[in-house]
Amino acid sequence: MENTILNTDFNFPGQTKVYHGKVREVYTINKELLVMIVSDRISAFDVVMPKGIPYKGQVLNQIAAKFLDATTDIVPNWKIATPDPMVTIGKYCEPFKVEMVIRGYLSGHAWREYRSGKRVICGVEMPDGMKENDKFPSPILTPTTKADVGHDEDISREEILAQGLVSEQDYLLLEKYTREIFQRGTDIAADMGLILVDTKYEFGKDKDGNITLIDEIHTPDSSRYFYMDGYAERQDSDQPQKQLSKEFVRQWLISNGFQGKDGQQIPVMDVPFIDSVSERYIELYEHITGDKFIKADATNVLNRVESNILDYLS
């Protein structure tokens, strides 16, 4: 897959730091700017798969840019420019050590907890008698700790405040922003015939101390979408929901004996499967944005990305 970016090793003028995340490479420029390159890596169960997904980075970056622009009236965000389809440049922020997860439906991790018999997640009670993919009476907030390595852990509001991870004043704002951005995303998704099932947001503070929305939002890596058409019928007949998210990759891994546990071998992702994952990402892009996805020239993608960043920084 020569047209994918798995790793970068750039050295930009004024560069003071580089962070290699599960999917993103973030270069700090003079502690003022962040250059975020969204790679084509894919992770599941907090494990990065050995092969990249063509155009995945472009899909994620462009969806996130669109939704960041669509929510600036709710909360300021870090984005300044997108000089390349796989790159966002923004202002440096100090991130909070929690991720704000919000769920409108009983799916994914919440369902797995519920199925095991739990009725409280992150200090929030879930009603009895629900089945997978049922809608909650109202969206629930289930924050997680933000782990540099390993798994993020569920945490309640009370634990966040008790541990001093976020001040009470800031946390109330994070909850407010999370609910408002989720409602905006829900409304936009509905216009496109989709249901925004659950998602996560990350926030930080800029140099002036303002709470700022950072990273990506409403992408298939951070969110789960169902098709609205046929949702009720599928629920009534106990059929799986048709969804656009990374969950199908997790399910494929589970069916092939991998859940990120010690001693488990990552199954081989062959070319047909990789292509199918790429197609699913492009499908979500077109459904959620309403725009036709235009594949960027990936003949020499590393050179293209570096050149576009250097042009912007100069």
Q: For the chain, which residues make up each domain, given as ranges?
A: 15-94+260-313, 96-244
| DSSP β-bridge partners for residue 226 | 195, 243
The CATH number of domain 96-244, selected from 3.40.50.1000, 1.10.260.40, 3.40.50.10240, 3.30.470.20: 3.30.470.20
Pick 157 or 31 by higher pLDDT.
Answer: 157
pLDDT at residue 245 above 80? no
Mean pLDDT of the 197-214 span: 97
pLDDT at 148: 62
pLDDT at 312: 97
| DSSP 8-class letter at 263 | T
Q: With contact defined as beta carbons under 8 Å apart, do 28 and 12 qualify?
A: no
The predicted-structure confidence for 207-240, as pLDDT tens digits, reads as follows 999 999 999 999 988 999 999 999 999 999 999 9
Q: With contact defined as beta carbons under 8 Å apart, do 33 and 85 qualify?
A: no
The predicted-structure confidence for 7-25, as pLDDT tens digits, reads as follows 999 999 999 999 998 899 9
pLDDT at 150: 58
pLDDT at 149: 59
Residues in contact with 121: Cβ distance below 8 Å, sequence separation at least 6, in sequence order = 110, 113, 114, 140, 142, 154
Name the one residue in this structure whose structure tokens are 């790159």. 87
Give the whole-number percent of the chain exceeding pLDDT 70. Answer: 98
Residue 151 — very low, low, confident or very high, per pLDDT cuts 50/70/90? low
pLDDT at 141: 98
Nearest C-alpha neighbor of 203 from the set 74, 301, 308, 312: 74
Residue 120 — very low, low, confident or very high, per pLDDT cuts 50/70/90? very high
Say whether pTM exceeds 0.85.
yes
Mean pLDDT of the 187-200 span: 96
Average pLDDT of the chain is 94
Nearest C-alpha neighbor of 219 from the set 248, 246, 188, 253: 246
Residues in contact with 63: Cβ distance below 8 Å, sequence separation at least 6, in sequence order = 216, 218, 219, 220, 284, 285, 288, 289
Which CATH class name applies to 15-94+260-313?
Answer: alpha beta
CA distance 62 to 57: 8
